[in-house]
Amino acid sequence: MYPENTLTGFHASVAEHQADMLEMDLRITQEGRAVVFHDHTLERTTNGKGRVCNLSYREISELDAGFHFTDSGNDRKFRGKGMKIPLLEDVFEQITETYINLELKDHHPELISEVLRVVKKFEVQDRILIGSGHFFQNRIVHRVLTDCCRYLSKPDIYLFGFLGSLGFGRNYWQNFHVAEVPLHYHGYHVYPMMKKAAEKMNLPLFVWGANDLQSIEKLKADGVDGIITDRPDLM
């Protein structure tokens, strides 16, 4: 639909498809700015090369974030149209009401400090869901950004599915506000186990990876609390 992690995509998701929450990934630049970007390198989505953390934001801001994007007709309609990699600050300046789901991709302590600074600057703690897929990074994020809602790290997710579905670990799982889990994992349909765990632990369930109408309709019928999708037009 739109180039990932761009302000164009975020605005369209809210204005055209009534998204209640926007999910985005964060990385750190050479000088310590938090940028909205998924990969640790630039090649897949932009006309740049190298690691995000080795470039300044001035260099990153000159790249085309729509360079490799193709729509269903294999048309590169966003190439050369001014798609930029945004700063986290740009997101909060332009999107002032929608809930934001942040995943810190880098291990750098500077990223946590910068996210904390930006969140405090814009006073958006009450509409942030935040975490990291890395276990220890996630613990630090939750210890530092205490006023934001928290989700499970990747190791936590799979322990949650197994132990939580059996009714174990309730005290630990209550440290989190949301169980944010995949629909599939390495080809396995893990959602039923995750759903059972969330019900037993009484945690809201957000499911990611549902990008077709059948999966989305199934999750809606099940009454999950959130669906994270690349296809908000199917919602």
Task: Report, in angstroms and rounded to the nearest whole number, the Rg of the chain calculated over CA atoms.
Answer: 18
Across 68-72, 116-120, 133-137, 204-208, least confident range? 68-72
**pLDDT interval class at 77 (50, 70, 90):** confident
CATH tag, 1-150: 3.20.20.190
The candidate with the shortest Cα–Cα distance to 4, out of 97, 105, 96, is 105
201, 170 contact by CB (below 8 A): yes
| pLDDT at residue number 70 | 82
Model's pTM, two decimal places? 0.92
3-state secondary structure of 215: helix
CB atoms within 10 A of CB 145: 21
Give the whole-number percent of the chain exceeding pLDDT 90.
86
Average pLDDT over residues 50-64: 96
| pLDDT at residue number 75 | 80
| pLDDT at residue number 113 | 96
Q: Is 11 exposed, middle or buried (0-12, 13-18, 19+ CB in 10 A)?
A: middle
pLDDT at 74 over 90: no
pLDDT tens for 5-32 read 999 999 999 999 999 999 999 999 999 9
130: β partners = 102, 150
120, 147 contact by CB (below 8 A): no
| pLDDT at residue number 67 | 87
CB atoms within 10 A of CB 123: 10
pLDDT at 44 over 90: yes
The candidate with the shortest Cα–Cα distance to 45, out of 83, 101, 7, is 83
* Segments making up each domain of the chain, as ranges: 1-150, 152-235
Write out the DSSP string of 74-90.
---TTTTS---PPBHHH
pLDDT at 187 over 90: no
Amino acid at 90: D
107, 134 contact by CB (below 8 A): yes
| pLDDT at residue number 21 | 96
104: β partners = 26
Give the whole-number percent of the chain exceeding pLDDT 70.
99
pLDDT at 98 over 80: yes
pLDDT at 96 over 90: yes
Count Cβ neighbours within 10 Å for each residue of 182-193 and write b for 16 or more, e otherwise: bbebeeeebbeb
**pLDDT interval class at 108 (50, 70, 90):** confident
| pLDDT at residue number 115 | 97
